[in-house]
Amino acid sequence: MNRTFQTRDGRLVARLILLAHRFGCDYTELAVTRNAAVFSVSIDFVGNAEALRRLDAQISKLLDYEKEIA
């Protein structure tokens, strides 16, 4: 599963990696580039399909937090 997104909070990458491990998943590729205050992130996750589905939902929720305070 790949998630590609932009964030203004680079710490989010660490949070997602830890979250993946919590769900019994892992990541195989991680790319981050920064342009001014915005981080462009791409992460490839691997793991059990159900765990990846739940991870995907959690990532979307965490990204929504940033929209709430934008």
Binding site for other proteins (CB under 8 A): 11, 14-15, 18-19, 22, 53-54, 57-58, 60-61, 65, 68-69
Q: State both tokens at 69.
A: 């305070």
Nearer to other proteins (CB atom), residue 2 or residue 70: 70
The answer to whether 55 touches 14, Cβ cutoff 8 Å, is: no
Please report how close the Cβ of residue 57 comes to other proteins at its closest, in angstroms. 4
CA distance linking residue 41 with residue 47, whole number of Å? 19
Q: Token pair 């580039």 is at which residue?
A: 33
